[in-house]
Amino acid sequence: MKILVGLKRVVDYTVRVQVKPDGSGVAIDGVKMSINPFDEIALEEALRLREAGKATEVIVVSIGQQTSMQQIDTGLAMGANRGILVKTDKPIQPLTAARVLAKLVEKEQPGLVILGKQAIDDDNSQTAQMLAALIDRPQATFASKVEVDGNVARVTREVDVGLETLEVDLPAVISVDLRLNTPRFIKLPDIMKAKAKPRETLELASLGVESGDHLAATHYAPPAKRQKGVVVKDVPELIGALKAKGLL
Amino acid sequence: MSKILIIAEHLNGQLNQSTAKCVSCASKIAGASIDIVVLAADPAPIAAQAAAIAGVSRVRTIANAANANAIAAIYAPQVVAIASDYTHVFGASTTVGKDLMPRIAALLGVSQLSDIMAADDAHTFKRPIYAGNAIVTVKAPAGQIVVATVRAASFAAAGGGGNATIEAAAVAVALPTHTRYVNLQQGGGDRPDLQTARIVVSGGRALGSADAFKLIYDFADKLKAGVGASRAAVDSGYAPNDMQVGQTGKIIAPELYVAVGISGAIQHLTGIKDAGTIVAINKDAEAPIFEVADIGLVADLFKAVPEIMAAL
Ligand SMILES: Cc1cc2nc3c(=O)[nH]c(=O)nc-3n(C[C@H](O)[C@H](O)[C@H](O)COP(=O)(O)OP(=O)(O)OC[C@H]3O[C@@H](n4cnc5c(N)ncnc54)[C@H](O)[C@@H]3O)c2cc1C
Ligand SMILES: Nc1ncnc2c1ncn2[C@@H]1O[C@H](COP(=O)(O)O)[C@@H](O)[C@H]1O
């Protein structure tokens, strides 16, 4: 079985993104870019499934500009077998990403597609669910445990009220949560080995995918600032301050 | 005129409060008529609770044994079957809503808006991005059905006293069997629910062990509070995952939030930005949590918390 993994290039999670003063967007020129943290976890899970003999090939896909090839390089160094860059010059929305991934599913026929539960730039958390709908297959989102047994995956999901377990027939789409695994570190020889791995570039425009970019962002603003608070000197003062606010 | 359908969220026969918060969001859209749909094995008791929410015109029920659990692949085609009666379909940005709404949107061939925190008009919404570092105004196309999840923490629950009509919706669609519910291990216990509690006490990495985290539970019990945790505390196994507050955990808006031994990473702060009063107890005066705290106490938590408890 093949596993397809999505790697989105996003602003690194340590960067504190600022809104441009004119409200036209966020200032991200020159900031550190990385693989979406959830996608590293998705890839790690795919690699572990391959190492456990449940999968034969792990394919990493990134949809974005030429620069997203860096994230594919990293994915290949982590251990993926090959990479596909779907090139487009403008940012796409989840429905378009899902339609592109559906095309690749049609072509590659993977048994599993593993994506992140959300991309930490737009915080949408939609692509996996949309892909599963488009290909009419099961979805198991926010996974914290994945067990594959023949044609079935048993997935534990992190939900608001606890942990839910679903059983899904393959092919299926999984989106991963933070506690599924800890991604491996890349060693120097892995980077060298990855140089020889196959990388394919497809133009998004050539895939015949209808755009699903229906939403228009018209203005960006910084979040409302909280008023500066007080620092109390000891516990009695803290209790006094809470009582003054009627909270105790 | 806007016709808005809200998908009821429920568990064990109880309607989740997030549904009334979606109603509150929908009622911000001028002149909207609001329906709720209840998918369940036995929708009647839930429909009765939904019908009592102020501002709801009609509650529609879709009864089916397959609807006993909220499985997105099973719910989505049934919602789609009645969606053509509506201009908007809303669900809460809970794990149930986040799982379901994109599937519905994709079946309808439209984009979805995640986590709307304000409705400026029927097609213009505000939502947070970059872990809440920016708020973007988004316009959905006027000629398309709007599918969205509502950031429950941004809205007060709509009141009671409503008297909506309840009717069964006739839905005949084939349901998939490829996704099967196995079980739910519920956390929580009998403490106030984190997402609706008036007071929440959260512990961070500073607690150092699951055993020491008991101090947070005791403190919370003293305050009749719900319990939360930072990701570091959850990852280290001090607290269960359903207690995580933040960008990838729960977004909450209690009247009082007490952060104990939590540094205040942006991913954590985005989960509490609508809290009424934030109290921080941290031994590092430079910790970023003090930038957002209304009341800060620079102290060792293992001294300060017992002292507070003794004084209550
Ligand atoms: C993609 C992504 C998503 C994330 N999502 C979330 C999320 O949803 N929620 C979340 O919380 N985090 C999230 N994080 C993690 C986040 O970046 C931080 O790592 C995490 O919040 C830190 O937790 P903490 O404050 O408990 O630990 P630390 O940052 O280690 O802080 C511990 C604090 O305790 C204080 N302290 C230590 N000992 C004592 C003592 N005896 N008394 C008083 N104070 C003491 C220290 O001064 C310090 O400030 C996410 C990260 C990523 C990359
Ligand atoms: N442009 C992209 N390239 C590769 N994968 C993507 C892209 N956009 C979304 N994904 C995948 O879908 C997941 C969820 O993204 P989102 O729905 O945008 O929050 C991400 O974690 C990725 O695994």
- Tell me which residues of chain A, numbers 25 to 54, contact chain B at a CB-CB cutoff of 8 Å: 26
Instruction: Confirm whether A233 is domain-assigned.
Output: no
Mean pLDDT of B109-119: 98
Does A26 have pLDDT greater than 70?
yes
Predicted pLDDT of residue B189 = 72
The domain tally of chain A equals 1
pTM over 0.90, yes/no: yes
Distance CA B216, CA B225 (A): 10
Cβ proximity of A223 and B128 under 8 Å = yes
Best of A65, A84, A115 to mutate for ligand 2, by most ligand atoms within 8 A of CB?
A115
pLDDT, tens only, A95-127: 999 999 999 999 999 999 999 999 999 999 999
What are B220's two structure tokens? 């919370």
Instruction: Confirm whether A226 is domain-assigned.
Output: no
What are A177's two structure tokens? 């949560």
pLDDT-based confidence at residue A60 (cuts at 50, 70, 90): very high
- Give the domains, in start order, of chain B with CATH numbers: 3-168 (3.40.50.620), 199-311 (3.40.50.1220)
Count of CB atoms within 10 A of residue A106's CB? 9
Distance CA A214, CA B211 (A): 50
pLDDT above 70 coverage of chain B, percent: 100
Look at B111 and A16 and tell me if their CB atoms are within 8 Å: no
Look at A161 and B186 and tell me if their CB atoms are within 8 Å: yes
B287 lines ligand 1 (CB under 6 A): yes
Cα–Cα separations (whole angstroms), residue A65 to A9, A102, A194, B18, B183: 9, 19, 21, 39, 42
Closest by CA to B263, choosing from B243, B235, B292, B228, is B292
Backbone dihedral angles phi then psi of residue A49, each to the nearest 5 degrees: -65, -40
Cβ proximity of A53 and A1 under 8 Å = no
Strand order in the sheet with A112-116: A199-203, A82-87, A57-64, A2-6, A112-116, A172-176, A139-149, A152-159, A162-169, B179-186
Does B39 have pLDDT greater than 90?
yes
User: What is chain B's length?
Assistant: 312
Predicted pLDDT of residue B188 = 65
Backbone dihedral angles phi then psi of residue A187, each to the nearest 5 degrees: -100, 155
Tell me what ipTM this predicted complex has.
0.96
Convert A73-103 to b/e letters by CB count within 10 Å (16 or more is b). bbbbbbbbbbbbbbbbeeebbbbbbbbbbbb
- CATH number at A89 reads 3.40.50.620
Distance CA B84, CA A55 (A): 41
Predicted pLDDT of residue B94 = 97
What are B170's two structure tokens? 């006739």
Strand order in the sheet with B165-168: B112-116, B146-150, B88-92, B3-7, B33-40, B58-63, B165-168
Query: Nearest ligand to the C-alpha of residue A117?
Result: 2
Closest partner residue to A132 (CB to CB) among B98, B103, B199 is B103
B57 lines ligand 1 (CB under 6 A): no
Mean pLDDT of A73-97: 97
Residues of chain A in contact with residue B107, where contact means CB-CB under 8 angstroms, are: 133
Q: Residues near B67 by Cβ (< 8 Å), separated by ≥ 6? A: B39, B40, B41, B43, B74, B75, B78
pLDDT, tens only, B181-214: 999 998 767 889 998 899 999 999 999 999 999 9
Instruction: Confirm whether A166 is domain-assigned.
Output: yes
Which residue, judged by its Cα, is nearest atom 38 of ligand 1? B206
> Average pLDDT over chain B, rounded to whole?
97
Does B144 have pLDDT greater than 70?
yes
Q: Which range marks the domain in which residue A181 is found?
A: 2-219
Instruction: Confirm whether A104 is domain-assigned.
Output: yes
Instruction: Confirm whether A243 is domain-assigned.
Output: no
Best of A5, A8, A13, A34 to mutate for ligand 2, by most ligand atoms within 8 A of CB?
A8
Instruction: Confirm whether A227 is domain-assigned.
Output: no
Closest partner residue to B95 (CB to CB) among A159, A215, A224 is A159
- In three-state secondary structure terms, B6 is strand
Instruction: Confirm whether A129 is domain-assigned.
Output: yes
pLDDT, tens only, A178-204: 999 999 999 999 999 999 999 999 999
Q: Residues near A134 by Cβ (< 8 Å), separated by ≥ 6? A: A98, A99, A102, B106
What are B85's two structure tokens? 């009666």
Cα–Cα separations (whole angstroms), residue B25 to B4, B79, B276: 10, 20, 19
Hey, is the C-beta of B241 within 8 angstroms of any chain A C-beta? Answer: yes
Closest by CA to A94, choosing from A41, A134, A133, A131, is A131
Hey, is the C-beta of A225 within 8 angstroms of any chain B C-beta? Answer: no
Radius of gyration of the CA atoms of chain B, in A: 21
Instruction: Confirm whether A80 is domain-assigned.
Output: yes
